[in-house]
Amino acid sequence: MKKLILFFLFGLLISCSGDDTHHSWGSYATNKESKKQEFWFTSYKSRDECIADMQWQIEGGEDDSRQKISNWHTKPYGCHFMSNNKWLSIYNYLIYKDENLGCLWESSNPNVRIKYSVTLKTFVNVPEQGRCVLGD
Protein backbone atom coordinates (compact mmCIF):
# COMPACT_ATOMS: atom_id res chain seq x y z
CA MET A 1 0.00 0.00 0.00
CA LYS A 2 2.89 2.36 0.79
CA LYS A 3 4.31 1.86 -2.71
CA LEU A 4 0.95 2.72 -4.26
CA ILE A 5 0.72 5.93 -2.23
CA LEU A 6 4.30 6.89 -3.14
CA PHE A 7 3.61 6.20 -6.81
CA PHE A 8 0.48 8.39 -6.65
CA LEU A 9 2.37 11.23 -4.95
CA PHE A 10 5.20 10.98 -7.47
CA GLY A 11 2.62 11.17 -10.28
CA LEU A 12 1.15 14.33 -8.76
CA LEU A 13 4.58 15.95 -8.57
CA ILE A 14 5.22 15.16 -12.21
CA SER A 15 1.82 16.31 -13.41
CA CYS A 16 2.24 19.71 -11.74
CA SER A 17 5.40 20.48 -13.67
CA GLY A 18 3.83 22.20 -16.69
CA ASP A 19 6.77 20.99 -18.81
CA ASP A 20 4.54 19.18 -21.28
CA THR A 21 3.78 22.52 -22.96
CA HIS A 22 7.45 23.29 -23.58
CA HIS A 23 10.03 21.87 -25.90
CA SER A 24 11.59 19.70 -23.19
CA TRP A 25 13.35 17.13 -25.37
CA GLY A 26 16.79 17.68 -26.86
CA SER A 27 18.88 15.54 -29.16
CA TYR A 28 22.41 14.36 -29.78
CA ALA A 29 24.26 12.51 -32.51
CA THR A 30 27.75 11.16 -33.18
CA ASN A 31 30.19 13.33 -35.09
CA LYS A 32 31.50 11.26 -38.02
CA GLU A 33 34.98 12.75 -37.80
CA SER A 34 35.65 12.77 -34.04
CA LYS A 35 33.40 9.74 -33.25
CA LYS A 36 32.10 11.63 -30.18
CA GLN A 37 28.50 12.38 -29.32
CA GLU A 38 27.45 16.03 -29.58
CA PHE A 39 24.31 17.82 -28.49
CA TRP A 40 22.20 19.30 -31.25
CA PHE A 41 20.64 22.64 -30.48
CA THR A 42 17.17 21.57 -31.51
CA SER A 43 14.34 20.96 -29.07
CA TYR A 44 11.10 19.02 -29.39
CA LYS A 45 7.73 18.77 -27.66
CA SER A 46 7.93 15.01 -27.22
CA ARG A 47 10.42 12.17 -27.28
CA ASP A 48 8.61 10.56 -30.21
CA GLU A 49 8.89 13.78 -32.23
CA CYS A 50 12.59 13.97 -31.37
CA ILE A 51 13.35 10.37 -32.34
CA ALA A 52 11.43 10.66 -35.63
CA ASP A 53 13.22 13.87 -36.60
CA MET A 54 16.66 12.57 -35.66
CA GLN A 55 16.08 9.39 -37.64
CA TRP A 56 15.07 11.44 -40.68
CA GLN A 57 18.01 13.86 -40.33
CA ILE A 58 20.64 11.16 -39.78
CA GLU A 59 19.33 8.26 -41.87
CA GLY A 60 16.83 9.81 -44.25
CA GLY A 61 13.45 8.26 -44.76
CA GLU A 62 11.80 5.57 -46.81
CA ASP A 63 10.23 8.36 -48.85
CA ASP A 64 12.70 9.26 -51.65
CA SER A 65 11.68 12.90 -51.41
CA ARG A 66 13.04 13.03 -47.84
CA GLN A 67 16.80 12.96 -48.08
CA LYS A 68 18.91 12.84 -44.94
CA ILE A 69 20.02 16.27 -43.86
CA SER A 70 23.18 15.73 -41.83
CA ASN A 71 26.34 14.65 -43.59
CA TRP A 72 28.50 15.30 -40.51
CA HIS A 73 26.72 13.05 -38.01
CA THR A 74 25.83 9.38 -37.74
CA LYS A 75 24.57 6.72 -35.33
CA PRO A 76 24.36 6.45 -32.42
CA TYR A 77 21.95 9.31 -31.86
CA GLY A 78 19.24 9.85 -29.31
CA CYS A 79 17.04 12.15 -27.30
CA HIS A 80 17.17 13.43 -23.74
CA PHE A 81 14.86 15.29 -21.40
CA MET A 82 15.55 18.73 -19.89
CA SER A 83 13.46 20.64 -17.38
CA ASN A 84 13.36 22.87 -14.33
CA ASN A 85 11.43 20.18 -12.46
CA LYS A 86 13.89 17.96 -10.62
CA TRP A 87 11.48 15.05 -10.04
CA LEU A 88 10.28 14.98 -13.64
CA SER A 89 13.89 15.11 -14.78
CA ILE A 90 14.84 12.20 -12.52
CA TYR A 91 11.88 10.18 -13.80
CA ASN A 92 12.75 10.73 -17.47
CA TYR A 93 16.44 10.14 -16.84
CA LEU A 94 15.71 6.77 -15.26
CA ILE A 95 13.17 5.73 -17.91
CA TYR A 96 14.98 6.91 -21.06
CA LYS A 97 18.70 6.82 -20.17
CA ASP A 98 20.81 5.16 -22.83
CA GLU A 99 24.44 4.07 -22.96
CA ASN A 100 25.62 7.40 -24.42
CA LEU A 101 24.22 9.57 -21.65
CA GLY A 102 26.26 10.40 -18.58
CA CYS A 103 24.56 11.91 -15.57
CA LEU A 104 21.53 14.03 -14.73
CA TRP A 105 23.10 17.48 -14.45
CA GLU A 106 21.94 20.28 -12.18
CA SER A 107 23.27 23.64 -13.30
CA SER A 108 24.44 26.08 -10.63
CA ASN A 109 24.20 29.02 -13.06
CA PRO A 110 21.24 31.18 -11.96
CA ASN A 111 20.87 32.56 -15.50
CA VAL A 112 20.26 29.29 -17.37
CA ARG A 113 16.84 28.72 -18.89
CA ILE A 114 16.77 25.03 -17.94
CA LYS A 115 18.24 23.82 -14.66
CA TYR A 116 18.20 20.02 -15.17
CA SER A 117 19.61 18.31 -18.23
CA VAL A 118 21.92 15.40 -18.96
CA THR A 119 25.55 15.07 -19.84
CA LEU A 120 27.06 12.93 -22.54
CA LYS A 121 29.71 10.36 -21.65
CA THR A 122 32.28 12.63 -23.31
CA PHE A 123 31.33 15.56 -21.01
CA VAL A 124 33.98 16.74 -18.56
CA ASN A 125 32.37 17.76 -15.27
CA VAL A 126 33.21 21.28 -14.13
CA PRO A 127 32.17 21.58 -10.46
CA GLU A 128 31.87 25.37 -10.68
CA GLN A 129 29.13 24.99 -13.31
CA GLY A 130 26.94 22.42 -11.56
CA ARG A 131 26.84 18.86 -10.32
CA CYS A 132 25.63 15.40 -11.18
CA VAL A 133 22.54 14.57 -9.13
CA LEU A 134 22.10 11.08 -10.56
CA GLY A 135 24.29 8.75 -12.59
CA ASP A 136 27.91 8.86 -13.70
pLDDT reading at 3 higher than 60: no
Does residue 87 contact residue 13 with C-beta atoms inside 8 Å? Answer: yes
Distance CA 32, CA 94 (A): 28
pLDDT at 42 over 80: yes
Q: Is the pLDDT of residue 20 over 70?
A: no
Using a pLDDT cut of 70, give the percent of the chain over it: 78
Is the backbone peptide bond immediately before 76 cis, with ω within 30 degrees of 0?
A: yes
pLDDT tens digits along 58-103:
887 666 665 667 789 999 999 999 999 999 999 999 999 999 999 9
Gap between the Cα atoms of 64 and 68, Å rounded: 10
Decide: 17 and 81 in contact? Cβ < 8 Å: no
Q: Is pLDDT above 50 for 25?
A: yes
Verdict on whether the full-model pTM lies above 0.85: no
pLDDT at 115 over 70: yes
Q: What's the pLDDT score for residue 1?
A: 59
> Which of these, 14, 30, 23, lies nearest to 99 by C-alpha position?
30
Residue 2 has pLDDT above 80, yes or no: no
Domains of the chain, residue spans = 23-135
Torsion of CA 90, 119, 39, 94, to 10 degrees: -30
Average pLDDT, the chain: 84
Mean of the pLDDT values across residues 17-24? 60
Between the alpha carbon of residue 126 and those of residues 69, 80, 114, 132, the distances in Å are 33, 20, 17, 10
Model confidence at 8: pLDDT above 90: no
The more confident residue out of 62 and 104 is: 104
